[in-house]
Amino acid sequence: MSHAPHQPGAAYDGSFVPSVQGLRGIAALSVLMDHFYDMPKGGMYDIPDPGFLPPLWLWLQSVINVGGHGVELFFMISGFLIPASLVRHGSLPRFFFDRVLRIMPVFVVLHLALFVVGPIVGYKFFRGIDLTSYLAVFAANLFFVQDALGLPIAQQNAWTLTYEWAFYIWFAATFSVWRGGGRLLAAPLILLGVACLLHWPITAFFCIGMLYSATGFRIRIPGRLGLAVGLACGAAMYASLVLFHPFVGLLPGFVLFGMVLAPESGLGKALSVPALQYVGKISYSLYLVHPFVLFPLQVIGLKLVAAGVDRWLLWAAFIGLGLAMSLVASAISYELIEVRLRRLLDGAIRGMVFRPLKVGQSV
């Protein structure tokens, strides 16, 4: 991605937007917060109660429990970035090659680790599984079709990647047909997209990003007022997703993302602080890795609460250690897998698949 600033008033050109990276960090931390609430109860990994979650006020439970809707923030970001990425790559093979290198290395490493260690520790669906079922679940999860086949999901957070890949394929196909002059041929694909929105309403958040990507429209509310309005819109979006319907959350989500994209807005500046920039940079690893980090802490917590250790102490330790260990593990995953392994795979595969680029030609 280019680090030149985006030109106001024009469609998004693929330039780096710091506030979007900061929003990635918020989205990942939001999901992590949700698991700080769910996992002490044992529900996320089918470990029966009692857990070590202390008694909380109902309002606090409600606030924490909406964190899982950080995935809608990721969908808005993808809707914003993917159109420019497709244009920048200039061809479907290059675009999908880049998407595979971006998404698959971390996922596959964790996928293999889970299917090696899972049967040993008796994790979830691995208990008593036969070889045929093991291979079926392995393959279905590797290609993100486990839901379609009615098979269990392996990596709990990876369900969103099914939506991401479906969006990549749908948008690339629709865009290519449209640009190729076949607008009538694109109509069935557009109708398919509408049908998907109606059947899976959370996919409508991709549309918010797509709309902003296609236009130069931004919502510029500077200073503390902009930050306050942005926080209010974020709270309204999360509340709408829980209390009402995803479509209700589209309006506050639209206003929120418009302020995120305006660099001079109070919200945009708040999201551009260095700490959030780093969390945003490692956010994909953080999103996928943290359940692996929290699982052993969860098991230890359940054993200690059974031994009589105070639940408040255990929960505080779970959050503190879980956050620190998740950030460290994600930083390591980012450096070793997202950067070094990706660079190695890129160099090894690109030369065999794609002809060398001319000097100055962008990918």
The confidence score (pLDDT) of residue 357 equals 40
> Of 169, 186, 188, 168, whose CA–CA distance to 177 is shortest?
186
pTM of the model: 0.91
The confidence score (pLDDT) of residue 42 equals 61
> Minimum mean pLDDT among 10-19, 244-253, 278-287, 302-311: which range?
10-19
pLDDT tens track for 162-209? 999 999 999 999 999 988 877 788 899 999 999 999 999 999 999 999
Q: Which residues pair with 2 in a beta bridge?
A: 15
What pLDDT band is residue 349 in, cutting at 50, 70 and 90?
A: confident
72 in Cβ contact with 237 (< 8 Å): yes
Is the per-residue pLDDT at 132 higher than 80?
A: yes
**Taking the mean position of all CA atoms in its chain, how far away is CA 358?**
34
Residue percentage of the chain with pLDDT more than 70 = 91
349 in Cβ contact with 300 (< 8 Å): no
Q: Which residues contact 29 (CB under 8 A, 6 or more apart)?
A: 70, 279, 286
The confidence score (pLDDT) of residue 186 equals 86
Q: Which residues pair with 135 in a beta bridge?
A: none
